[in-house]
Structure 1
Amino acid sequence: MILMIEKILLAQTLKRLPRMGWLISGIPNPESVADHSFGVAFISLLLLNKIKEEGVKIDENRVLKMAIIHDIGEALITDIPLRAQKYLDKDAAEDKAVKEIFPEFYELYREYQEGKSLEAQLVKFADKIDMVLQAWQYELSGNKNLEDFWRALEELEKLEIARYFKELLEEVRRLKGDI
């Protein structure tokens, strides 16, 4: 059994772990996985407020917990970039890591991975919005060739929850046009 202090220290490795997709794309000093997780949690909070204004019933507690732990497995397996994932079974490795080290979060993690619940879709939406807006900020700083990251917008439109955030998606697309 892993002690709580060990779990805390392991999770804190996310503060030092750079997001590899940015690093491979030539971004100097990219955000950490923990930076990204904070962004996802904050965006999820904003999206929750918006969707509740629409009268949608959603479990806020599950959303925020999911947002915080959605990348917790990377504390063990690291952030495997998209181009490497086609050669590895990242999902199986991350699944195993979460199940072994953080079993108390496993069901919530699986729910996020499967993306079937409204809560999981909201966090997936927040995850991609955070990434796309980070790409925009990197591009504003003069970094180029980040088109792969912008393709996430196409994935977002496929999510059932996207119907509540059409205006946000339009705003994000406009940002891309302004660069």
Structure 2
Amino acid sequence: MLDLLIELGNLKRLPRTGWLLRGVPNPESVAEHSYRVALITLFLADELKAKGVEIDVEKALKIALLHDVGESRITDIPKTAQYYLDKGKAEKKAVMELLLSSPEPKEYFKLWREYEEESSLEGKLVKFADRLEMLIQAYEYEKAGFRNLDEFWGTVKKLRESEFYSYFRELVEGLVEMREKLHRG
């Protein structure tokens, strides 16, 4: 397990390549992104529970923590490169191999797949949190003066189509409104 923990440390040094390709010189690491995804997941899951939705918060947090572990081996492959590669197959293999030395390899892999396939309520929530985190980061970079990030904002459509949108409409639309104000100056 020690080797696994050391290898997962790669995520702390691995920059999110989408930001690099758009001119952000020192972008967040995959680990920084994953940490905020986990926090967003926690807060959204607890909010859903408070609204009467039956959701397993612990399971959602596990999924959030596991959702990017494969990138410690395959790196953060940008969308443009994914067109030429089978990222899904490569990441699946990396996750399977990585988790072999974890305490619960089958359970953890199953949870990772629930995120990838959005096959459970918790997996869908983490996907929503992942997208929301990316938009918050895009807003923060735009606020710092970086431009050419419009393509990331296409994700708003996916958030609006999510079953969670009705619960978190104010978050999504509040972020969109903040960005519009920023661009209006």
Q: Structure 2 length as normaliser, TM-score?
A: 0.92
Structure-2 residue corresponding to 1:99: 96
Q: 1:32 aligns with which of 19, 29, 32?
A: 29
> Is structure 2 residue 161 aligned with structure 1 residue 158?
yes
**Of residues 151, 160, 163 in structure 2, which corresponds to 1:148?**
151
| Residue equivalent to 2:119 | 116
Moved more, 45-54 or 133-142: 45-54
Q: Name the SS of the counterpart of 1:46 in structure 2.
A: helix
Separation in 1 of the partners of 2:70 and 2:143? Answer: 31
Residues of 1 paired with 2:170 and 2:144: CA distance?
25
Give the Å deviation of 1:158.
2.0
Percent of aligned positions that are identical: 48
- 1:28 shift after superposition: 1.1
Say yes or no: does 1:45 pair with 2:42: yes
Structure 2, unaligned runs of 5 or more: none
For residues 68-101 of structure 1, what are the alpha-carbon distances to aligned partners after superposition, in whole Å with 9 as ceiling and x for unaligned? 1100000000000111111111111101111122
8 Å contact from structure 1 (residues 118, 161) kept in 2: no
Name the Cα RMSD after superposition. 0.9
Deviation digits for residues 24-78 of structure 1, max 9, x if unmatched?
A: 1110110000000001001111101211121101011110001011000000000
4+ long deviations beyond 4 Å = none
Q: Tell me the distance in 2 between the aligned counterparts of 1:178 and 1:83.
A: 30
Please state how far the C-alpha of 1:162 moved relative to its aligned partner: 2.1
Unaligned runs of 5+ in 1: none
TM-score by length of 1: 0.95
* AA of the residue aligned to 1:45: L
2:135 partner letter: V
Which whole-Å CA distance do the structure 2 matches of 1:153 and 1:50 have between them? 20
The answer on whether the counterparts of 2:16 and 2:27 sit within 8 Å (CA) in structure 1 is: yes
